[in-house]
């Protein structure tokens, strides 16, 4: 059966700027989980640039997983597992950590707010100690958009689905902290996007 290979121009533009940051955030080896892998353009590029890491792509959409599988096969790369259908709300997740990191690009603004909560709740059971949870996308900061284009994008998202929208980083941080995560860094990215890096809070000594 022929699979229609989905393609995202935005993913093609931002995959290199993202991977340049990931190389500083992720270990040289280990296994990294990608949540909401979409078209698979990101994970194939990440795997080609960071060959020491084994990548586990996931997506809730069956057709997206088919696209990812096809793209992996076409790449010839051997450090990417077959994609797994994963809905962040369905905890426990159908993957087996602990992972050395989790990458999630452009998900939380095109999903209900409950998905952000579920992302952190699920991730806390899958990440190794000190492993980063890395979010990429547009954010509001302090209740305000960081650019006029993000305001326009937010309005467009909410017109398509009132449960979607550009999230405020303060609200995301509050959800993260409720699940035991601490915000470690914010990295400014092209096109008014950000990378936000979280790690699990160290356990208190008994």
Cis check: omega of the bond before 203, within 30 degrees of 0: no
> Using 50, 70 and 90 to split pLDDT, how confident is the model at 3?
confident
In a domain, 169, yes or no: yes
pTM, rounded to two decimals: 0.95
Query: What mean pLDDT value characterizes the chain?
Result: 95
In a domain, 4, yes or no: no
In a domain, 36, yes or no: yes
Report the alpha-carbon angle 164-119-27, nearest 5: 125
CATH code assigned at 166:
3.40.50.150
In a domain, 2, yes or no: no
Report phi then psi at 136, rounded to 5: -125, 140
- Domain total in the chain: 1
Q: What is the pLDDT of residues 94-143, one digit of tens each?
A: 999 999 999 999 999 999 999 999 999 999 999 999 999 999 999 999 99
In a domain, 28, yes or no: yes
- 15 is in which domain, residue-wise? 9-200
C-beta separation of 180 from 201 below 8 A: yes
């Amino acid at each position: 059966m022929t699979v229609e290979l989905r393609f995202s121009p935005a993913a093609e533009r931002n995959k290199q700027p993202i991977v340049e940051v990931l190389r500083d955030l992720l270990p040289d080896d280990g296994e990294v989980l990608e949540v909401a892998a979409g078209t698979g353009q990101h994970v194939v590029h990440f795997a080609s640039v960071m060959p020491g890491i084994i990548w586990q792509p996931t997506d809730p959409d069956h057709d997206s997983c088919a696209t990812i599988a096809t793209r992996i096969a076409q790449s010839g790369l051997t450090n990417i597992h077959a994609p797994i259908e994963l809905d962040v709300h369905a905890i426990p997740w159908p993957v087996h950590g602990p992972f050395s990191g989790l990458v999630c690009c452009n998900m939380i603004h095109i999903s209900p707010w409950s998905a952000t909560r579920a992302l952190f709740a699920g991730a806390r059971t899958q990440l190794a100690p000190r492993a980063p949870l890395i979010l990429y996308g547009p954010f509001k900061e302090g209740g305000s958009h960081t650019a006029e284009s993000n305001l326009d994008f937010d309005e467009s998202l909410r017109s398509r689905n009132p449960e979607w929208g550009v999230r405020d980083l303060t609200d995301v941080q509050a959800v993260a902290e409720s699940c035991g995560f601490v915000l470690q860094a914010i990295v400014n990215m092209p096109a008014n996007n950000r990378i936000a890096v979280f790690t699990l809070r160290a356990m208190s000594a008994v």
